[in-house]
Amino acid sequence: MMKKNTFIVSLTLLVGFFTISLILMPATAQAKNIKVGVIDCYSGPAAVFGADALNGFKLALKDINQQGVLGKKIEFTTRDSKFKVDLALNFAKELVLREDVDILVGTINSGAALAISAAVAKREKVPFIAWISKSENITGKKGHRYVFSAGENTAMAGKSGGVALATKPYVKYWIAGDDYEYGHAIADAAWRNLKARKPEVQLIGKSWWKVGEPDLIPYITSILAAKPDAVIFATGGGSMVNIMKTIKTTGMADKVGIYIHSATDHAVLNPLGINAPEGVMGTIDYHFYFPELSANKRFVSAYKAAYGQPPGFPAFQGYITAHFIAEAYRKAGSLDKEKFIDALEGLQIQSPAGRIEMRACDHQAILPMYFGVTKVSPEQGFAIATDIYTLRGVEVMPSCKEIMEARGQ
Amino acid sequence: MEGGPAITLAALSITFLVGLSRAMILFIVTSGLSFVLGVLRVPNLAHGSLYMIGAFAAYSITMLFGGGSVGFWLALILAPLVVALISLVAERSLFCHLYQREHLMLLLFTFALMLILGDLTKMVWGADYRSIMPPTILQGSVSIFGSPFPKYNLFLLIIGPLVAIGLWLFSSKTKIGKIARAAAVDMEMVGAIGINVSWVFAFAFVLGCFLAGLGGALVSPTISVTIGMDHNIIIEAFLIVTIGGLGNMWGAMVGSLIFGITQSFGVLLWPQFAIVFPYLAVVIVLTLKPTGMLKSVW
Amino acid sequence: MFGEMIRQKSFGVSVAIFVILLLAPSFLPRFYIYFLAVIFVTALLAMSLNLCVGHGMLFQFHHGVFYGVGAYTTGLLLAKTSLPWWLAFVAGPLAAAFAGLLIGMFCIRLSRLYFGMLQISLGSLIWAIAFRWYDLTGGDDGIHGIPIPDFIASTTSSYYFVLMVLGICLILLYLILKSPFGSTLQAIRDNPERCAAVGINVRRHQLKAIVIATFFGGVAGVLFVVVEGSIFPDLLFWTLSLEIFIMCLLGGWFTFAGPILGAAFIVSLRTFVGTYTEYWTLILGIILILLIFFLPEGVMGYNYRKLFRSRTQYSAEGQTE
């Protein structure tokens, strides 16, 4: 009976597969090192950021593991979520339940970060440090004891943009961006803060395109036709290169003021080379060339030696995540997860950009924001940010009181 | 929505032209898909992957020859050929052995191919964003009624119809083209009069993939070349082929025009809801014309 | 009909497997219990699709929409209202079936590929709504940490719940397929013109099948919420629909239990191979190609012969061909 044979063969294969992986399950009995589970996107357009963050993380671990942490080394294992939330959830559970990791770290996808935070970190009581995803809800409304963020979020980015733009002479604004939560959140945060500081600004229109939209010319055209003084673009990682290219092709930066969060980031400007548009205003929490602290220079040269190019903000955030983890364990003196969390709250570390604190009330890293304007540097072969104006972390973060109110506490 | 876009003559003209130029790229890509669908009767799920490889190959070839204009023109010729070669290898080594099987098996094969090509692309080129500029004479914009219109898009407006005319001449005037058209309508008959059906299939597949690669190469200076391009284009291509008429090259043109222009005008008139326009267009077309705009070859 | 089912040899095998699965939580580590629950949910989803594809030959290209509608309905009711949980659980599949009815009515006028493409378009509109309507659905962030009733909240208890529901649904699906309704559906699949000629309302029958299939898809969606406690727009996206379609093809779309195998295979592969390499899709692609080539007597080839054989039988029974 062919049907039954096929059925039995396939079933046997499946069971065999299953059993083998059970056997291959990592032994948990030995004296283990500190294990970090990394979930990120290593496929699809967001992959470059995930790879960057991991590189920064690995670089930090090289130094950390020379000293050791509580007599152990920090190991890590990665999982590719391919920008899918269900895969991220599966792997998070697999890392916690099967690999028995001490800490979870990741990801660029805000939906995945929120899912991991709620379904795995909170439920299984395992600390999770989000390192690129920018939803302000991660440490805001949906924050809790077991989730931390080592990256800037939309509230911080938007506020820094709004604060900086309030010093500019523009009155009529247009807002445009990727039609998803990140885009809307940044745009709202920027506009809210701008309007609060400069009540006379007017919003004359909004445009939203689908995430990953390749053809932005029609949007630019209709925006220019409305003749705003300035445009706030709320674009995510995947669209940054597209929007910058379109701005360059249409010469838009010569006609109107343009602000985009992360426009001054190296990962965005590098692929454009000397053809990046100039005069675009942007904010980001890390530059490899500013501030010119010796710690930054050391970090940059070590990174360049290891990976062949200067680090962008994800690498910086991955790097500080590793140091936060190491220092928190050292302070806690034990591998106990609860003690780790207590130690991490309020912890300050030395980073390439100076001292950075993990704020205790909401588990958000207090990161500075640098507001700059793009300018091509022919000798380096790409554009950099100039006229950099630093906003301190505490200036751009929501207050502890606001966070607690948002969380309903 | 506070305020709104100014519906000026400039805005309308640019919108129309942009929609048209976008439609040209879509046409080139979907004509390939349509051709394969018509002759092989199989939706090639790997079509988007070949488009993506075309874009990456164009990037690499451009960089290989100095990163400037010369590099790009060479890339425009060589990248589609690279893609055609890859598809020929896939076809002769694997695909051709499956022609006797059911169609869904062929579909499964193209799905597997899509997965494999996607990962291979990541292995070869990595995850970084790539960007190339159009050749120098096509950089910047011209001013149409005071609004900027990229010169490269003008180039696309010329290339698109040229490819269309080329394909039409090819399929109606050359012997191979006529055989392919006949095969799309009645494969058994073509086999019965002594023509090697397997080679007809190979030819159709390679040509379809060549067009995908050409589309990818042409689009590369306008966007960031990145992994994930395959998923974005494949759903659009399939929708266009459906509303245009399966296997019909002019259908691909009609479908692309509908898609490109409604997208463009939607952006101008209701920018808040641009995300739904392509799907709305398909729903409307299929409601009014359930078998697509033009006659399908099936 | 029920009695006939019990007498099948494969029923005995299934019961044995079911008993093993019942006992599994006592000897399996927690992750594997969760993992099996994920397979069960996916298997049910694939089975519900196969009612349309394998047994009805309907080009149901966007079945994922109904899974998502079921999940979202239940998830939203649980998270945002204080309605009792069983109401939320029942509302999910009903909403999915309703969506199936609406979309089905729209698409049923078209044939084959057009049916599928229109379904993708309409389904994508629903996806776009979920993606954009932040206040209701959480937009692309999704809604997480949905409150699940305590008695099925833990890993083991949710496993049992899913297993029970899966078992019941499988029995129901089997009975449906073996019933006159199911036979008519398969007859329509094999030869719609002849069926119409003997007076069967082909369209109405297919629509009924769609509603049933989407109902079960919605059940799978509810189970997803129980296992994961999250809803997000990926559940409504066309790539998911393509994946479950492939699961049906892979497992054997003319068989009854084929989709279960397909689902188990793909979920296992991506979980276990995914722990070793990010290129697990490459490996899946290679394995698919190997299966296509080297298992010609496997699921696909066998089914072709089965179809061929049943056709011959049919025409041997006195049809003038």
> According to the per-residue pLDDT averaged within each range, which of A15-24, A260-269, B122-131, B204-213 is highest?
B204-213
In this predicted structure, what is the pLDDT of residue B229? 86
Report pLDDT digits (tens) over A27-61: 444 457 899 999 999 887 788 889 999 999 999 99
The more confident residue out of B240 and B176 is: B240
* Any domain includes A248: yes
Q: How many CB pairs under 8 A join B and C?
A: 102
Q: What is the mean pLDDT of residues C293-314?
A: 50
- Indicate if A145 and A164 belong to the same structural domain: no
Residues of A in contact with C132 (CB under 8 A): 179
CB contact under 8 Å between A207 and B272, yes or no, is yes
Q: Is B214 near chain A, with CB under 8 Å?
A: no
In this predicted structure, what is the pLDDT of residue A1? 35
Q: What is the mean pLDDT of residues A77-93?
A: 92
* Any domain includes A19: no
| pLDDT higher than threshold 70 for residue A6 | no
- Indicate if A97 and A54 belong to the same structural domain: yes
CB contact under 8 Å between B108 and C288, yes or no, is yes
* Any domain includes A17: no
In this predicted structure, what is the pLDDT of residue A237? 79
Two structure tokens written together for B202:
């190979």
CB contact under 8 Å between B286 and C110, yes or no, is yes
Report pLDDT digits (tens) over A370-384: 999 999 999 888 999
Residues of A in contact with B275 (CB under 8 A): 179, 208-210
CB contact under 8 Å between B282 and C118, yes or no, is yes
- Indicate if A310 and A273 belong to the same structural domain: no
Q: Which of B139, B147, B153 is the closest to A225 by Cβ? A: B147
Report pLDDT digits (tens) over C239-277: 999 999 989 888 888 788 889 988 999 999 888 888 888
- Indicate if A36 and A145 belong to the same structural domain: yes
Two structure tokens written together for B244:
């245009």
In this predicted structure, what is the pLDDT of residue A18? 64
For β-strands A257-261 and A74-80, DSSP reports them as unpaired
* Any domain includes A181: yes
Q: What is the DSSP string of A266-320?
A: HHHHTTTGGGSPSS-EEEES-BTTBS--HHHHHHHHHHHHHHSS---HHHHHHHH
Cα B1–Cα A405–Cα A370 angle in degrees, nearest 5 = 65
Q: Is B63 near chain A, with CB under 8 Å?
A: no
Residues of C in contact with A42 (CB under 8 A): 278
Global pTM reads 0.88
CB contact under 8 Å between B5 and A44, yes or no, is no
Residues 6+ apart with CB under 8 A from C44: C165, C166, C169, C170, C216, C219, C220, C223
pLDDT-derived band at C315, boundaries 50, 70, 90: very low
Please state, in angstroms and rounded to a whole number, the distance separating the CA atoms of residues A281 and A253. Answer: 9
* Any domain includes A409: no
Residues of B in contact with C238 (CB under 8 A): 235
| pLDDT higher than threshold 80 for residue B2 | no
- Indicate if A162 and A136 belong to the same structural domain: no
In this predicted structure, what is the pLDDT of residue C313? 39
CATH code of the domain containing A195? 3.40.50.2300
For the complex shown, is ipTM > 0.90? no
In this predicted structure, what is the pLDDT of residue B103? 73
Element (H, E) at A358: strand A354-358
Interface of B with A in 75-94 (CB under 8 A): none
In this predicted structure, what is the pLDDT of residue B78? 95
| pLDDT higher than threshold 80 for residue A359 | yes
Two structure tokens written together for A119:
């379904």
CB contact under 8 Å between C117 and B242, yes or no, is yes
In this predicted structure, what is the pLDDT of residue B165? 92
Contacting chains of A (3 CB pairs or more, <8 Å) are B, C
Q: Which of A42, A225, A271 is the closest to B131 by Cβ? A: A271
Please state, in angstroms and rounded to a whole number, the distance separating the CA atoms of residues C213 and C97. Answer: 8
* Any domain includes A340: yes
**Min Cα separation A220/chain C (Å):** 22
- Indicate if A61 and A111 belong to the same structural domain: yes
CB contact under 8 Å between C257 and A7, yes or no, is yes
| pLDDT higher than threshold 90 for residue B145 | no
- Indicate if A216 and A304 belong to the same structural domain: no
Tell me the Ramachandran region of residue B6: left when phi exceeds 0, alpha when psi lies from -120 to 50, beta otherwise: beta
**Min Cα separation B250/chain A (Å):** 23
CB contact under 8 Å between A249 and B139, yes or no, is yes
Q: Is B140 near chain A, with CB under 8 Å?
A: yes
Report pLDDT digits (tens) over C160-180: 999 999 999 999 999 999 899
* Any domain includes A337: yes
CB contact under 8 Å between B282 and C121, yes or no, is yes
Please state, in angstroms and rounded to a whole number, the distance separating the CA atoms of residues A207 and A233. Answer: 9
| pLDDT higher than threshold 90 for residue C217 | yes
Q: What domains lie within chain B, and their CATH numbers?
A: 9-288 (1.10.3470)
Residues of C in contact with B114 (CB under 8 A): 285
CA torsion, points B63, B64, B66, B67, in degrees to nearest 10? Answer: -20
Report pLDDT digits (tens) over A7-26: 555 666 666 666 666 655 55
pLDDT-derived band at C311, boundaries 50, 70, 90: very low
Q: Which domain holds residue A351?
A: 30-152+288-367
Tell me what the pLDDT averaged over chain A comes to.
88
- Indicate if A73 and A216 belong to the same structural domain: no
Report pLDDT digits (tens) over A154-193: 999 999 999 999 999 999 999 999 988 889 999 999 999 9
Structural domain boundaries in chain C: 2-238
Lowest mean pLDDT among A224-233, C5-14, C142-151, C216-225: C5-14
Q: Is C10 near chain A, with CB under 8 Å?
A: yes
By the 8 A CB rule, do B183 and B190 touch? yes
Report pLDDT digits (tens) over C64-94: 999 999 999 999 999 999 899 999 999 999 9
- Indicate if A118 and A255 belong to the same structural domain: no
- Indicate if A36 and A142 belong to the same structural domain: yes
Please state, in angstroms and rounded to a whole number, the distance separating the CA atoms of residues B205 and C152. Answer: 52
Two structure tokens written together for C299:
């699921």
In this predicted structure, what is the pLDDT of residue C196? 87
- Indicate if A211 and A72 belong to the same structural domain: no
Q: Which of C117, C284, C300 is the closest to B239 by Cβ? A: C117
Q: What is the mean pLDDT of residues A325-342?
A: 93
In this predicted structure, what is the pLDDT of residue C301? 44
In this predicted structure, what is the pLDDT of residue C43? 96
Q: Is C318 near chain A, with CB under 8 Å?
A: no
* Any domain includes A25: no
Residues of A in contact with B267 (CB under 8 A): 207, 209, 218-219, 222
- Indicate if A337 and A379 belong to the same structural domain: no
Tell me what the pLDDT averaged over chain C comes to.
86
The residue of B1, B220, B223 whose CB has the most chain A CBs within 10 angstroms, and thus the best one to mutate to test that interface, is B223
Report pLDDT digits (tens) over C106-118: 888 887 778 888 8
Q: What is the DSSP string of A177-208?
A: EESSHHHHHHHHHHHHHHHHH-TT-EEEEEEE
Q: What is the mean pLDDT of residues C218-227?
A: 96
| pLDDT higher than threshold 80 for residue B149 | yes
Residue C108's SS3 state is coil
Two structure tokens written together for C167:
């078992």
By the 8 A CB rule, do B88 and B202 touch? yes
Lowest mean pLDDT among A115-119, A339-343, C4-8, C287-291: C4-8
Number of domains within chain A: 2
Residues of C in contact with A50 (CB under 8 A): none
